[in-house]
Amino acid sequence: MQSTVELCEQHLGPNAVETARALTNLARAAVQRGETETAEPALRRALAVQQQCLTADNPDTGLTLWHLAEALRGLSRLGDAERLARRALEVWEGHFGADHEWTAWALISLSKIKLARGDATEADELAGRAAQILTLVYGPEHAEVGSTLKLQMSALMTSGKPRAAEPPRAN
Protein backbone atom coordinates (compact mmCIF):
# COMPACT_ATOMS: atom_id res chain seq x y z
CA MET A 1 0.00 0.00 0.00
CA GLN A 2 1.39 3.39 -0.99
CA SER A 3 1.58 6.26 1.42
CA THR A 4 -0.20 9.53 0.78
CA VAL A 5 3.16 11.18 0.19
CA GLU A 6 4.09 8.62 -2.47
CA LEU A 7 0.73 9.03 -4.17
CA CYS A 8 1.06 12.82 -4.19
CA GLU A 9 4.58 12.61 -5.57
CA GLN A 10 3.52 10.14 -8.24
CA HIS A 11 0.42 12.01 -9.42
CA LEU A 12 1.19 15.64 -8.59
CA GLY A 13 4.97 15.73 -8.43
CA PRO A 14 7.49 16.04 -5.62
CA ASN A 15 7.26 19.84 -5.60
CA ALA A 16 3.48 20.18 -5.40
CA VAL A 17 1.86 22.04 -2.52
CA GLU A 18 -0.31 18.98 -1.84
CA THR A 19 2.84 16.88 -1.51
CA ALA A 20 4.15 19.38 1.05
CA ARG A 21 0.85 19.14 2.94
CA ALA A 22 1.10 15.33 2.95
CA LEU A 23 4.69 15.55 4.24
CA THR A 24 3.56 17.88 7.04
CA ASN A 25 0.77 15.48 8.01
CA LEU A 26 3.22 12.57 7.97
CA ALA A 27 5.57 14.52 10.25
CA ARG A 28 2.74 15.45 12.63
CA ALA A 29 1.86 11.76 12.97
CA ALA A 30 5.51 10.93 13.67
CA VAL A 31 5.64 13.54 16.45
CA GLN A 32 2.43 12.16 17.97
CA ARG A 33 4.04 8.70 18.00
CA GLY A 34 7.09 10.14 19.78
CA GLU A 35 9.27 9.90 16.67
CA THR A 36 10.23 13.57 16.60
CA GLU A 37 13.63 12.97 14.99
CA THR A 38 12.01 11.37 11.95
CA ALA A 39 9.61 14.31 11.57
CA GLU A 40 12.29 16.92 11.00
CA PRO A 41 13.39 15.83 7.47
CA ALA A 42 9.77 15.63 6.28
CA LEU A 43 9.02 19.08 7.68
CA ARG A 44 12.14 20.59 6.15
CA ARG A 45 11.25 19.08 2.78
CA ALA A 46 7.66 20.36 3.06
CA LEU A 47 8.95 23.81 3.96
CA ALA A 48 11.29 23.84 0.96
CA VAL A 49 8.40 22.98 -1.37
CA GLN A 50 6.15 25.61 0.18
CA GLN A 51 8.84 28.28 -0.04
CA GLN A 52 9.23 27.44 -3.73
CA CYS A 53 5.51 27.33 -4.56
CA LEU A 54 3.81 29.73 -2.16
CA THR A 55 4.33 33.31 -1.07
CA ALA A 56 6.54 33.87 1.96
CA ASP A 57 3.55 34.98 4.04
CA ASN A 58 1.26 32.06 3.20
CA PRO A 59 -0.39 30.65 6.34
CA ASP A 60 0.34 27.07 5.24
CA THR A 61 4.03 27.93 5.26
CA GLY A 62 3.52 29.42 8.72
CA LEU A 63 1.94 26.16 9.85
CA THR A 64 4.90 24.12 8.66
CA LEU A 65 7.30 26.58 10.30
CA TRP A 66 5.33 26.18 13.53
CA HIS A 67 5.35 22.36 13.35
CA LEU A 68 9.09 22.38 12.67
CA ALA A 69 9.67 24.78 15.57
CA GLU A 70 7.68 22.50 17.88
CA ALA A 71 9.63 19.44 16.69
CA LEU A 72 12.96 21.18 17.27
CA ARG A 73 11.81 22.36 20.70
CA GLY A 74 11.07 18.72 21.49
CA LEU A 75 14.63 17.88 20.43
CA SER A 76 15.99 20.72 22.64
CA ARG A 77 17.29 22.62 19.62
CA LEU A 78 15.96 25.83 21.09
CA GLY A 79 17.82 28.41 19.00
CA ASP A 80 16.51 27.00 15.73
CA ALA A 81 13.09 26.45 17.27
CA GLU A 82 12.87 30.07 18.39
CA ARG A 83 13.86 31.41 14.99
CA LEU A 84 11.22 29.30 13.25
CA ALA A 85 8.51 30.08 15.81
CA ARG A 86 9.18 33.81 15.42
CA ARG A 87 8.88 33.45 11.66
CA ALA A 88 5.58 31.55 12.05
CA LEU A 89 4.36 34.34 14.32
CA GLU A 90 5.28 36.96 11.70
CA VAL A 91 3.45 35.02 9.00
CA TRP A 92 0.29 34.40 11.00
CA GLU A 93 0.14 37.83 12.60
CA GLY A 94 0.62 39.43 9.20
CA HIS A 95 -1.98 37.24 7.53
CA PHE A 96 -4.62 36.77 10.23
CA GLY A 97 -3.96 39.69 12.58
CA ALA A 98 -2.79 40.09 16.16
CA ASP A 99 -5.93 38.61 17.74
CA HIS A 100 -6.19 35.34 15.80
CA GLU A 101 -5.93 31.96 17.49
CA TRP A 102 -3.03 30.87 15.25
CA THR A 103 -1.13 33.94 16.40
CA ALA A 104 -1.75 32.72 19.95
CA TRP A 105 -0.34 29.26 19.12
CA ALA A 106 2.89 30.84 17.86
CA LEU A 107 3.08 32.96 21.02
CA ILE A 108 2.62 29.84 23.17
CA SER A 109 5.43 28.07 21.31
CA LEU A 110 7.70 31.05 21.79
CA SER A 111 6.77 31.22 25.47
CA LYS A 112 7.69 27.56 25.97
CA ILE A 113 10.97 28.06 24.11
CA LYS A 114 11.85 31.19 26.10
CA LEU A 115 11.02 29.41 29.37
CA ALA A 116 13.26 26.48 28.35
CA ARG A 117 16.03 28.96 27.51
CA GLY A 118 15.74 30.59 30.94
CA ASP A 119 14.02 33.81 29.89
CA ALA A 120 11.03 33.58 32.21
CA THR A 121 10.18 37.27 31.92
CA GLU A 122 9.64 37.11 28.16
CA ALA A 123 7.92 33.73 28.53
CA ASP A 124 5.45 35.37 30.92
CA GLU A 125 4.78 38.23 28.51
CA LEU A 126 4.26 35.90 25.55
CA ALA A 127 1.97 33.55 27.47
CA GLY A 128 -0.01 36.51 28.81
CA ARG A 129 -0.54 37.86 25.31
CA ALA A 130 -1.58 34.40 24.09
CA ALA A 131 -4.03 34.07 27.00
CA GLN A 132 -5.59 37.40 26.05
CA ILE A 133 -6.10 36.26 22.47
CA LEU A 134 -7.48 32.86 23.44
CA THR A 135 -9.85 34.49 25.94
CA LEU A 136 -11.22 36.65 23.15
CA VAL A 137 -11.49 33.69 20.77
CA TYR A 138 -12.79 30.97 23.12
CA GLY A 139 -13.97 32.73 26.27
CA PRO A 140 -12.36 32.72 29.73
CA GLU A 141 -13.56 29.24 30.75
CA HIS A 142 -12.01 27.35 27.82
CA ALA A 143 -9.42 24.66 28.57
CA GLU A 144 -6.84 26.24 26.22
CA VAL A 145 -7.07 29.50 28.18
CA GLY A 146 -6.44 27.57 31.40
CA SER A 147 -3.52 25.71 29.86
CA THR A 148 -1.97 28.97 28.67
CA LEU A 149 -2.46 30.57 32.09
CA LYS A 150 -0.71 27.53 33.60
CA LEU A 151 2.22 28.18 31.26
CA GLN A 152 2.23 31.81 32.31
CA MET A 153 2.20 30.79 35.99
CA SER A 154 5.20 28.51 35.37
CA ALA A 155 7.05 31.45 33.88
CA LEU A 156 6.08 33.67 36.81
CA MET A 157 7.23 31.08 39.35
CA THR A 158 10.50 30.58 37.48
CA SER A 159 11.11 34.33 37.36
CA GLY A 160 10.60 34.58 41.12
CA LYS A 161 7.66 36.93 40.66
CA PRO A 162 4.73 34.76 41.63
CA ARG A 163 1.59 36.75 41.04
CA ALA A 164 -1.73 35.46 39.92
CA ALA A 165 -1.99 34.72 36.23
CA GLU A 166 -5.52 35.81 35.51
CA PRO A 167 -7.43 35.61 32.28
CA PRO A 168 -8.09 39.02 30.81
CA ARG A 169 -11.64 40.16 30.63
CA ALA A 170 -13.24 39.67 27.25
CA ASN A 171 -14.50 42.94 25.83
Is the domain of 136 the same as that of 85? no
For residues 5 and 18, the model is more confident at: 18
Is the domain of 32 the same as that of 42? yes
Is the domain of 121 the same as that of 88? no
Residues 46-78: tens digit of each pLDDT: 999 999 999 889 999 999 999 999 999 999 999
> For residue 96, what are the CA distances in angstroms to 21, 52, 114, 138?
20, 22, 24, 16
158 has pLDDT over 70:
yes
Residues 123-135: tens digit of each pLDDT: 999 999 999 999 9
Domain boundary among 73, 97, 121: 97
Question: What is the rounded CA–CA span in Å between residue 131 and residue 134?
Answer: 5
Is the domain of 140 the same as that of 119? yes
Is the domain of 1 the same as that of 22? yes
Per DSSP, helices labelled H in the chain are 4-12, 17-32, 36-53, 59-74, 78-96, 101-116, 120-138, 143-159
Asked if 44 contacts 27 with a C-beta cutoff of 8 angstroms, the reply is no
Domain boundary among 97, 120, 139: 97
